[in-house]
C-alpha cells in the first residue's frame, strides 16, 4: 500500500504540480522517458461519460431481449476499467523498489541516490524505494551492513528487531535472526528496538546489542567494522552465532546436533582460510570435526 507521501507525489505529478527539485530528480533517472510517455498517453485517454443508473437499467432491459449481434453496452465500463488499470500500472512502476543482496562469502558496495554508501556483508539484503529518495531516506535491512550517510533529511534503517535513525554519520547494523547490534563510528545515531521501542542515543565509539528486551551498551574500538577487512571477532558469544557466521562466509554446513551450541566463544577467524578458521573456533571449544565435502560433522572430545 502506498504511503500518504507517495500518494501526494503521484497526484502532483499527474497534475503537473511537482516541485522543480523533485522533477529534476525524476528527469535524471534512466526510466524517466518511459514514465513520461505513459503519462502523456493518459492525457489522450478520455473515457466517455455515462449515467450509471441509466446504464444499469439498459442492462436489465437487454437481459429480457434476444441477443442481436455484438453487445456494445459494456464499452463505457471497459473504458473506465482500462483507465483504472493504467493508473495502477503507473503506481506499480513509479513506486517500485530497488533491492540488493549478497550470497555466501560475498560483499557488495552500494551507492545510494544521495551519495550515501553502504557496504553489504555476506548473506544480506537491502531494499529502498526508487523515487523521491531525498524526501524518504529509509532502508530495509536483513543481515549486516556498514553505512556512510550524507547530510540531509532523516535517514532510517529498519530491521525486524530494531531500527536506527541518523542525520549524517557512519555506523554498522547487524540483524541476524536473534541478533541485533549497532555500532557508531562517526556522528550520532538513535537506536530503538521494534518490540518495546527502547531507545538509546549513540555517539562515536559507542554501540549496543539487543539482549532480551534491553539494549546493552558496548564499546566500538576499531575505526571500521572488522568484517570489512575479512575478519570476525566475538566476545562471550553463543557458539551457535559463531557457527552461523562461518556458514555465511564459507560455502559449508555444520552438523551440530551432538554439541552444546549455547556455550560462549571468545575469539575470531579470518575469511581467507577455511582450515585456519575452523581450527580457530573449534579447537579452543574442545570440538572435533570431520570434513566431508561442504558438510562438517561436529562432535565433542
Domain assignment present for residue 224? The answer is: no
pLDDT, tens digit, for every residue of 227-276?
999 999 999 999 999 999 999 999 999 999 999 999 999 999 999 999 99
Domain assignment present for residue 288? The answer is: yes
For residue 159, is pLDDT > 90? yes
Q: 202: Cβ–Cβ under 8 A, 6 or more apart, which residues?
A: 171, 182, 183, 184, 188, 189, 190, 191, 208
Does 9 share its domain with 76?
Answer: yes
Rounded mean pLDDT, 35-61:
57
Does 69 share its domain with 21?
Answer: yes
Question: In the chain, how many domains are there?
Answer: 3
Does 293 share its domain with 202?
Answer: no
d(CA 233, CA 219): 13
d(CA 48, CA 213): 59
Q: pLDDT-based confidence at 175, cuts 50/70/90?
A: very high
Rounded mean pLDDT, 117-121:
97
d(CA 294, CA 198): 41
Does 80 share its domain with 120?
Answer: no
For residue 37, is pLDDT > 80? no
Q: 12-26, 73-87, 177-191: which has the minimum mean pLDDT?
A: 73-87
User: Quick one: CA dihedral 12, 14, 15, 16, positive or negative?
Assistant: positive
Beta carbons of 178 and 159 less than 8 angstroms apart:
no
Does 109 share its domain with 171?
Answer: yes
Does 245 share its domain with 153?
Answer: no
Does 178 share its domain with 258?
Answer: no
Q: In the numeric block, which cell numbers belong to residue 12?
A: 502532483
Structural domain span for residue 60? 4-94
d(CA 280, CA 277): 5
Beta carbons of 131 and 137 less than 8 angstroms apart:
no
Q: What is the pLDDT of residue 99?
A: 95
Rounded mean pLDDT, 2-28:
61
Residue 204, classified by CB atoms within 10 Å of its CB into exposed (0-12), middle (13-18) or buried (19+), is: middle
The residue ranking higher by pLDDT, 131 or 40, is 131
Does 149 share its domain with 103?
Answer: yes
Does 37 share its domain with 84?
Answer: yes
Does 104 share its domain with 208?
Answer: yes
Q: Report the greatest alpha carbon distance in the chain.
A: 89
Q: In the numeric block, which cell numbers belong to residue 19?
A: 516541485
Q: What's the whole-model pTM score?
A: 0.70
Rounded mean pLDDT, 94-119:
91
Beta carbons of 10 and 90 less than 8 angstroms apart:
yes
The residue ranking higher by pLDDT, 42 or 151, is 151
Does 130 share its domain with 85?
Answer: no
Amino acid at each position: 500500500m502506498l504511503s500518504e507521501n507517495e500518494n501526494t507525489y503521484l497526484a502532483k505529478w499527474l497534475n503537473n504540480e511537482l516541485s522543480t527539485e523533485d522533477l529534476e530528480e525524476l528527469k535524471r533517472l534512466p526510466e524517466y522517458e518511459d514514465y513520461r510517455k505513459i503519462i502523456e498517453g493518459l492525457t489522450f485517454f478520455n473515457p466517455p461519460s455515462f449515467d450509471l443508473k441509466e446504464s444499469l437499467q439498459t442492462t436489465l432491459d437487454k437481459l429480457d431481449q434476444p441477443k442481436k449481434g455484438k453487445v456494445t453496452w459494456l464499452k463505457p465500463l471497459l473504458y473506465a476499467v482500462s483507465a483504472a488499470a493504467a493508473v495502477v500500472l503507473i503506481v506499480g512502476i513509479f513506486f517500485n523498489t530497488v533491492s540488493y543482496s549478497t550470497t555466501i562469502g560475498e560483499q557488495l558496495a552500494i551507492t545510494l541516490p544521495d551519495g550515501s554508501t553502504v557496504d553489504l556483508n555476506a548473506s544480506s539484503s537491502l531494499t529502498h524505494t526508487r523515487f523521491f529518495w531525498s524526501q524518504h531516506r529509509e532502508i530495509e535491512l536483513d543481515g549486516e551492513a556498514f553505512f556512510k550517510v550524507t547530510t540531509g533529511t532523516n535517514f532510517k534503517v529498519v530491521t525486524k528487531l530494531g531500527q536506527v535513525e541518523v542525520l549524517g554519520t557512519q555506523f554498522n547494523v547487524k540483524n541476524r535472526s536473534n541478533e541485533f547490534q549497532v555500532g557508531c563510528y562517526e556522528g550520532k545515531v538513535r537506536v530503538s528496538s521494534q518490540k518495546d521501542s527502547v531507545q538509546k542515543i549513540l555517539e562515536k565509539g559507542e554501540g549496543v546489542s539487543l539482549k532480551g528486551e534491553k539494549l546493552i551498551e558496548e564499546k566500538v574500538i576499531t575505526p571500521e567494522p572488522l568484517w570489512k577487512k575479512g575478519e570476525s571477532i566475538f566476545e562471550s558469544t553463543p557458539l551457535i552465532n559463531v557457527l552461523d557466521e562461518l556458514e555465511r562466509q564459507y560455502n559449508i554446513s555444520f552438523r551440530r546436533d551432538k554439541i552444546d551450541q549455547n556455550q560462549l566463544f571468545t575469539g575470531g577467524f579470518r575469511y581467507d582460510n577455511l582450515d585456519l578458521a575452523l581450527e580457530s573456533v573449534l579447537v579452543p571449544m574442545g570440538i572435533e570435526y570431520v570434513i566431508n565435502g561442504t558438510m562438517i560433522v561436529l562432535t565433542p572430545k
